[in-house]
Amino acid sequence: MRFLVTGGAGFIGSALANRLAHEGHHVRVIDDLSAGDPRRLLPEVNFTRGSVTDKPKLWALLNKVDCVYHLAARVSVPESVLYPREYETTNVGGTVALMEAMRDAGVQRVVLASSGAIYGEQQRQPVTEDMPPRPTSPYAVSKLASEYYVRTIGSLWGIETVALRIFNAYGPGQTIPPVHAPVIPQFMQQALGEGSLVVFGDGQQTRDFVYIDDVVEALVRAATTQGVDQQVINVGLGRETSLNQLVQAIERVTGREAYVLHVRAESGGVSRLVADLTQARRWLEYEPKLDLVAGLELLLERDPTFQMAAGGVESKKR
């Protein structure tokens, strides 16, 4: 098949593009490199630098494409609070531009990478796809709006659509920006460097941490599974882990005792969030293969940054 992956030089996008190319598909990637890195991609992946809002460029890349994976987006919740207009422009405007370009090019299916963040604070866990969304950040609002645009425009123009609400994905190659870093690589880096693990709130807030290979498997299946048009599907591990439990798992995997600094003056976000995977099992025959400890072990084994940090600590001890 021929695929276009928007945001395909990012963490999830590059893992997906490489998997598709490895399986022999023709893969094109567009990424503005605001957060992506083309060095993540296999040589056989056709990379183009550009914005998902650039319709003429999209027209060229969409020629004879069978399916689009739409992952291009700004993804930082705290940043979205500061710059909501930029999130609306990129995440929502980029989605609409892509759907217009797909209509013009005659592409028949799109898989949208949405987010579990759209659920917000819910009284019942695990969360199911039919619960009313309660987004608590402009990022979450932009993802929910993108879902509505994709589903509505797809219905109007005869494009098959499926939205995967991805929960807290982690794995090798995930970047650690100076501010607003994802929690698992940040905690892993601090633990290996014998630094402080900063936990906002009391650490009892829970999340659903899912390893990148399982996320990619769900994305791959969503491209070819029949009968999923207009579906919204959760993708996670389906297990609830508190931040305190995450710290314990990282201590177990790294063999280091972490120094945890609780900052109770700042909120740790929603109190609980874990995915119900009933629809993922029904529609995609999806079953995550790696629990948190196994995923952390693979992260430590496969990510060169953490391998070097672990080796440096051992050398210093000797």
CA 25 to chain centre: 22
Instruction: Determine the Cα–Cα distance for residues 86 and 5; give it in Å rounded to an integer.
Output: 21
Q: Which residue of the set 87, 139, 149, 170 is catalytic?
A: 139
Beta strands 67-70 and 168-170, pairing class: unpaired
AA identity, residue 103: R
In sequence order, which residues have a C-beta less than 8 Å from that of residue 90 and are 6 or more positions away?
52, 53, 72, 73, 74
* Residue where the block lists tokens 């969409």: 62
AA identity, residue 275: A
SS3 224: helix
Active site residue 170: no
AA identity, residue 38: P
Tell me the catalytic residues: 139
